[in-house]
Structure 1
């Protein structure tokens, strides 16, 4: 800690600056000790000055860190900034101390209105701890701080830390161009800018706060898992000893340290806030700031004129601030957060477990490994604790740190297996926790509606990923599904549809993977422009998206399907009207054919969910009529690639129409396929597939299909055309060849008669065709060819099928699939 010059404030006011490390449990514990000893009557904390009205929520019921201050521009919510705090953050402990002792507390950094007005993210990624760690002989700043500070809370540590930071700042490079006041830059008064630079002696750039939303990164945390013997780390017994070692080793430096104008203005604003607090009557003023800024705030404040000139003319914008939940993983350096830490879970444990922290930690490690069915006993825990303590004693550390417990975990519990160790790192060292904020916290109406809906549906926002299986035959489950679909429309992907591991119950089941992320707070604010409730906002957004000029029939069909799943009744009529108009204007049959399965699927889901689908059925029927009428012209003159793509669309449409089980629709579709199968000017892949589909539907019998296959394999066609017809006809399902002896004989004879050059030409396509068959089908075909015929189909004694036994099998299959028979 540093005491300000008594002359820096009237009446002999005492100011102490506590330079901390953001999210450091050792700093937090030391700060609580120091504040209790100093007993301040005013506390200033590094943070946006316009967040002062939110200080009162710190002690409110329901406030549980990790949380973050969120600032955003109301008219452009994507422009936002976060200031996160965990329970082990020194700033949070300062806020808690002020609330407990009824001490006035304010934030003293640049207001969010100035931060958000910056055109680009200010500052750079310089880390002073890296410099100090390197000067002390460490290759890892996090581990240096953990060894020197976190394991030894000490109220007297702040003076030594500030002294070390001051020594590091002495060699900072000053660049006059970066120090120009805003008004001097705009007016071109270079002389005045240079005068300010001469008066203003401040630190190099440091980005200790994320000024914008961090980029998504789900990679594993970059924690050094090498054995201790592989790392170079001289040891120190105290903070003072460690910083003395650093000062003696000066001028060790990893690279040039430059002055950043944003950092300089931040510190100028902090000093101005300190002056105001002293002027308002503060007698014992405590200032809590990042350790890097401490030398610029400690000692005599000096005249205010240089700071005033430096801050003059800074741009501002309208900003709204609130508290939002945060997560431990977002404090990790791998998340993109500039002032992050690699081990938030470990730091949380150190701060909250004051009794036997190492024993409790390794017990948690054993629990994680056991949860993954790995054998870990109580004896493993005991031996791991002994090893961690022994390593700490060998290295002259007062308490085993993360390095020691990690090595003990690796050696004793994981038997050297790095994969097992990764489980511990991901689930404990980084860990996951989602904070909460009080109900009365300022928020947009859309967020309030979401909170109310999640409470009524008993859905908890959690940072860890979990699977939610929904049975849509239950009303509450249906409402949960609708909420998740509405959030997806609003681009708030709290839930992602996934494949269920539970036995399927057909259309009555949905499986979601839920994981709440802090940045969804901004997504909610952005979505609030569409409405004040989740439902009305989703309806307005989906209609707006569908109303765009470039929306295709497929896009509108997909939107209609989502609207039905989300129960957006207010948008359904508009989407249907828009779809009818788009379909009437779209003359590309492939577009209509691609949209048809989705539309029929929407009809099916609507029936399951009890939705009125009469208007939608009318649109689907109209679409089918246009597809059937235009199909003959759409299949003419296609090359192999286009024919293959259209064949996939035919398959999807055929399956959808069959699933709909509507007599009129099925008749229209099969009639169109019959016309296609009778043409000789269409690509063989399409004709063969049409014949196969008609054969499956019972329109074409085995004799007719064999005749058509024989004609396709006649002398007049090329080998490639014949192979394409066979590929279209068989279509990845070889069971037909297992049971139909005539078809198998025709194909076998054709293959046997091919010349060598023809066989080489058709081999790739045939190999793809037969390779798509199930392995059992291929074996059965091989046996049939070897034996000279297809496998026999068993019947009862009189040659007929046993219908009673067949019905039993059908009922069993229906129970498994969850469908009615």
Structure 2
């Protein structure tokens, strides 16, 4: 049974003081038909499903700065995590109704439960409530209540055939209670509810009104389901009672034509006559409330998708936006846009392919008996013609177009927390855009604007606002003046901003207060890491207090390993003074004190270590050694001498773990304090030691040490002879350790080492390798030619 056949049986109801338009949330067909229906009805009051607490915010609808998709955000000031969103897209019927009223200066307001009730302790969240469009309540055994004869009559009217009996009738009742849209689709001969709704409503281009049919169909479904019980039914009863009370209030104010826009499931119980008000007043009496604040926040198409967990979500917000915006030739325009996206990915798509895809989509729609090619048909045509069956390319189209990444905008005049206002002003000043798609941003900290951007990102991280996260750059550059960030804005960050607002009215003040609040109870290592983050965020007031707390904690902490863990973060932070212009004198002094305390206790910390502990201490020694190098560059050469002296005193100890013996020897070799490296390697690999101990020494010494093996024939010969002399059993035992050591070498280093081993230890490059002179000679010749031409 088609919509046209059903519409002939639905008599147009007489126009009364209340006209109810049952819609599907975020449906372009509903939105287009609703605008035409409002033009025909010409109401003097428009009531839309939504929280009445947000009525003052409706004055912003129509403002050029409020660009959907946007959402109403309601939150409890004392507990911001208790929040709910009411999203709107350009193609949402509710948005179009509000926009219609604002443009014609007609009274408009919301008529659902207030957010003050929704967010009360026993209230339900938006994701629970918003699913009550055409998707009805969950089915249960209570859905089977009612008289069998009346139910069979309703089924017969819906299906146009004798109603099922017995178990089939019960199954249909359960379907209607669980999924009213599925029941309507079954009545229309469809096995896919989404496809039925797209055919009969969303694909309508003639703006004819489907609302009388939807109203009667929903009335039959509600009678079919019968009375429901439980928590869901109580919440539904309160919502519908509030809607009726709001309609009565509008009529009492003298309004003569009230248009009500709501989820289609609620439409049958809101039509006139509304009945006495006393039962609804009793239903609402005693409902818990709490203080809430409402505002507009940007939203995205991706967050409108059902896959995001949104209860009233749709599978294809990008496609629905296209249907609403492209009123003529939607299929042609859509496939043209698909071709553009694929060309942007360097995939060859010709105009002839687009024409062929359009013809295929229209042919499929005809074969399937559809009035217009829908998303299924254009997707099939895209896969077959434009993507040549490539599912990866099709997924790209789905992600970019079918779902989409459109982000709404909110004007600065919308009331919000001071922290959000400061963040918005700062991002405008720094020329940063909040975008839903992830993108990388490379910063050069020598530039003033990039330095301020970096400080903002680090402050937001301290506030746990995950808009920006450190990333790896594709640009080959080194130095402390380079930073790369990955930016991606999520609508839920609006709640995070509200939560962070308790710390201060500006980003800098809030980050400073947040740091002060977490100082107490932190370990020395955590304090050191916070010091680094605080310095990067340019929070001098918090930094002073952090350094004092770090010094106090270091004085109380006797664990040398904790001191070693804290040193690298402090040393790295001290290095940022050169680029950022921050005074790090106190920071360097604290770092030097920790290094000296480490030197005093390192001998005790390296006694009696097992294999796992030796690995941990080895890593800490490496980190501290690198940190001491940074401090030495800042003038702390005496600290470096004291550190190297400590290592030299430890390396000769017989009770030191072989891994640490090898590592300390390597560090001293790099510092040119051990001239007899081959002799030490010879002693370590001599008879009398277990093969595992020898392998551990080799791992400690040669990890990241390919250059030594490439350029020192004596070391290379000793190691090669040791490996060649291992027995089968010993070789099997030490192979994992040796492979782990050589795994730290780069591909180029391994190739150079292999060439050295293959061609012996003769000076110069291997015969088949290009030496430096051979590589540079053509360049030098070209430069000489250019210089001679210039002199001539």
| TMscore range, shorter length | 0.7 to 0.9
The TM-score, its normalising length taken from structure 2, stands at: 0.86
1:717-796 equivalences under 5 Å are: 717-782=689-754, 784-785=756-757, 789-790=760-761, 792-793=763-764
Cα separation, 2, equivalents of 1:166 and 1:463: 40
Q: Are the equivalent residues in 2 in contact too, given 1:494–1:514 (CA < 8 A)?
A: yes
Cα separation, 1, equivalents of 2:590 and 2:694: 39
Quote the residue 2:639 is aligned against. 665
Quote the residue 1:141 is aligned against. 193
Q: Indicate which of 80, 83, 97 corresponds to 1:80.
A: 83
Change over 3 Å in CA distance of 1:718–1:376 after alignment to 2: same
Quote the residue 1:569 is aligned against. 540
1:365-404 equivalences under 5 Å are: 365-404=338-377
Q: Indicate which of 671, 676, 679 corresponds to 1:697.
A: 671
Q: Please report how far the alpha carbon of residue 648 of structure 1 lies from its aligned counterpart in structure 2 after TM superposition.
A: 1.4
Q: Please report how far the alpha carbon of residue 537 of structure 1 lies from its aligned counterpart in structure 2 after TM superposition.
A: 0.4
Count, aligned residues: 711
Q: Are the equivalent residues in 2 in contact too, given 1:31–1:155 (CA < 8 A)?
A: no
- The answer to whether 1:641 aligns with 2:612 is yes
1:587-602 equivalences under 5 Å are: 587-602=558-573
Change over 3 Å in CA distance of 1:421–1:4 after alignment to 2: closer
Cα separation, 2, equivalents of 1:785 and 1:462: 54
Cα separation, 2, equivalents of 1:785 and 1:472: 45
Q: Please report how far the alpha carbon of residue 136 of structure 1 lies from its aligned counterpart in structure 2 after TM superposition.
A: 3.6
Quote the residue 1:581 is aligned against. 552
Q: Are the equivalent residues in 2 in contact too, given 1:689–1:729 (CA < 8 A)?
A: yes
Q: Indicate which of 37, 40, 47 corresponds to 1:37.
A: 40
Bigger mean CA deviation after superposition, 710-719 or 328-337: 710-719
Quote the residue 2:783 is aligned against. none
Q: Please report how far the alpha carbon of residue 645 of structure 1 lies from its aligned counterpart in structure 2 after TM superposition.
A: 1.5
Change over 3 Å in CA distance of 1:791–1:65 after alignment to 2: farther
Q: Indicate which of 575, 578, 581 corresponds to 1:610.
A: 581
Q: Are the equivalent residues in 1 in contact too, given 2:74–2:294 (CA < 8 A)?
A: yes
Q: Are the equivalent residues in 1 in contact too, given 2:34–2:209 (CA < 8 A)?
A: no
1:647-706 deviations in Å (ceiling 9; x for gaps): 1121222223224424223212211211121211110000100000110111111xx222
- The answer to whether 1:94 aligns with 2:97 is yes
Cα separation, 2, equivalents of 1:167 and 1:49: 29
Q: Are the equivalent residues in 2 in contact too, given 1:13–1:278 (CA < 8 A)?
A: no
Quote the residue 1:411 is aligned against. 384
Quote the residue 2:161 is aligned against. none
Q: Are the equivalent residues in 2 in contact too, given 1:142–1:341 (CA < 8 A)?
A: no
Q: Please report how far the alpha carbon of residue 772 of structure 1 lies from its aligned counterpart in structure 2 after TM superposition.
A: 3.2
Q: Please report how far the alpha carbon of residue 786 of structure 1 lies from its aligned counterpart in structure 2 after TM superposition.
A: 5.4
Quote the residue 1:23 is aligned against. 26
Bigger mean CA deviation after superposition, 153-162 or 265-274: 153-162
Partner-residue secondary structure (3-state), 1:166: helix
Q: Please report how far the alpha carbon of residue 402 of structure 1 lies from its aligned counterpart in structure 2 after TM superposition.
A: 1.2
- The answer to whether 1:161 aligns with 2:211 is no
Q: Please report how far the alpha carbon of residue 575 of structure 1 lies from its aligned counterpart in structure 2 after TM superposition.
A: 0.8
Partner-residue secondary structure (3-state), 1:47: coil
Quote the residue 1:274 is aligned against. 247
Q: Indicate which of 318, 323, 341 corresponds to 1:345.
A: 318
Quote the residue 1:816 is aligned against. none
Cα separation, 2, equivalents of 1:535 and 1:725: 50
Q: Are the equivalent residues in 2 in contact too, given 1:5–1:299 (CA < 8 A)?
A: no
Q: Are the equivalent residues in 1 in contact too, given 2:48–2:111 (CA < 8 A)?
A: yes
Partner-residue secondary structure (3-state), 1:63: coil
Quote the residue 1:294 is aligned against. 267
Change over 3 Å in CA distance of 1:604–1:158 after alignment to 2: same
Partner-residue secondary structure (3-state), 2:225: coil
Cα separation, 1, equivalents of 2:548 and 2:623: 25
Unaligned 5+ residue runs, structure 2?
Answer: 1-6, 129-136, 139-177, 767-771, 781-792
Quote the residue 1:656 is aligned against. 627
Partner-residue secondary structure (3-state), 1:106: strand
Change over 3 Å in CA distance of 1:19–1:119 after alignment to 2: same
Change over 3 Å in CA distance of 1:782–1:381 after alignment to 2: closer
Cα separation, 1, equivalents of 2:709 and 2:478: 32
Change over 3 Å in CA distance of 1:562–1:138 after alignment to 2: farther
- The answer to whether 1:68 aligns with 2:71 is yes
Cα separation, 2, equivalents of 1:18 and 1:363: 35
Bigger mean CA deviation after superposition, 692-701 or 146-155: 146-155
Q: Please report how far the alpha carbon of residue 427 of structure 1 lies from its aligned counterpart in structure 2 after TM superposition.
A: 0.2
Cα separation, 2, equivalents of 1:355 and 1:572: 61
Quote the residue 1:509 is aligned against. 482
Partner-residue secondary structure (3-state), 2:313: coil
1:393-421 deviations in Å (ceiling 9; x for gaps): 33343332212211111111011111111
- The answer to whether 1:554 aligns with 2:525 is yes
Partner-residue secondary structure (3-state), 2:50: strand
Change over 3 Å in CA distance of 1:59–1:774 after alignment to 2: closer
Q: Please report how far the alpha carbon of residue 121 of structure 1 lies from its aligned counterpart in structure 2 after TM superposition.
A: 3.7
Q: Are the equivalent residues in 2 in contact too, given 1:142–1:342 (CA < 8 A)?
A: no
Q: Please report how far the alpha carbon of residue 120 of structure 1 lies from its aligned counterpart in structure 2 after TM superposition.
A: 6.3
Q: Please report how far the alpha carbon of residue 300 of structure 1 lies from its aligned counterpart in structure 2 after TM superposition.
A: 2.1
Bigger mean CA deviation after superposition, 769-778 or 480-489: 769-778
Quote the residue 2:203 is aligned against. 151
Cα separation, 2, equivalents of 1:479 and 1:170: 63
Quote the residue 1:688 is aligned against. 662
Cα separation, 2, equivalents of 1:669 and 1:588: 18
Q: Indicate which of 210, 224, 229 corresponds to 1:171.
A: 224
Q: Are the equivalent residues in 1 in contact too, given 2:185–2:193 (CA < 8 A)?
A: yes
1:502-550 deviations in Å (ceiling 9; x for gaps): 2325221211121111111111110010000000101110121122x1x
1:208-265 deviations in Å (ceiling 9; x for gaps): xxxxxxxxxxxxxxxxxxxxxxxxxxxxxxxxxxxxxxxxxxxxxxxxxxxx221121
Partner-residue secondary structure (3-state), 2:623: helix
1:368-408 deviations in Å (ceiling 9; x for gaps): 10111100111111211222222233334333221221111
Q: Are the equivalent residues in 1 in contact too, given 2:50–2:113 (CA < 8 A)?
A: yes
Q: Are the equivalent residues in 1 in contact too, given 2:122–2:288 (CA < 8 A)?
A: no
Quote the residue 1:331 is aligned against. 304
Q: Are the equivalent residues in 1 in contact too, given 2:524–2:566 (CA < 8 A)?
A: yes
1:165-216 deviations in Å (ceiling 9; x for gaps): 22222232535554xxxxxxxxxxxxxxxxxxxxxxxxxx5xxxxxxxxxxx
Partner-residue secondary structure (3-state), 1:416: coil
Cα separation, 1, equivalents of 2:342 and 2:663: 53
Partner-residue secondary structure (3-state), 1:84: strand
1:748-796 deviations in Å (ceiling 9; x for gaps): 3333444443333323222322343334444554555555x5353579x
Change over 3 Å in CA distance of 1:752–1:426 after alignment to 2: closer
Quote the residue 2:470 is aligned against. 497
Change over 3 Å in CA distance of 1:732–1:331 after alignment to 2: same
Q: Please report how far the alpha carbon of residue 135 of structure 1 lies from its aligned counterpart in structure 2 after TM superposition.
A: 4.3
Change over 3 Å in CA distance of 1:48–1:784 after alignment to 2: same
Change over 3 Å in CA distance of 1:419–1:643 after alignment to 2: same
Change over 3 Å in CA distance of 1:50–1:589 after alignment to 2: same
Bigger mean CA deviation after superposition, 511-520 or 366-375: 511-520
Change over 3 Å in CA distance of 1:563–1:139 after alignment to 2: farther
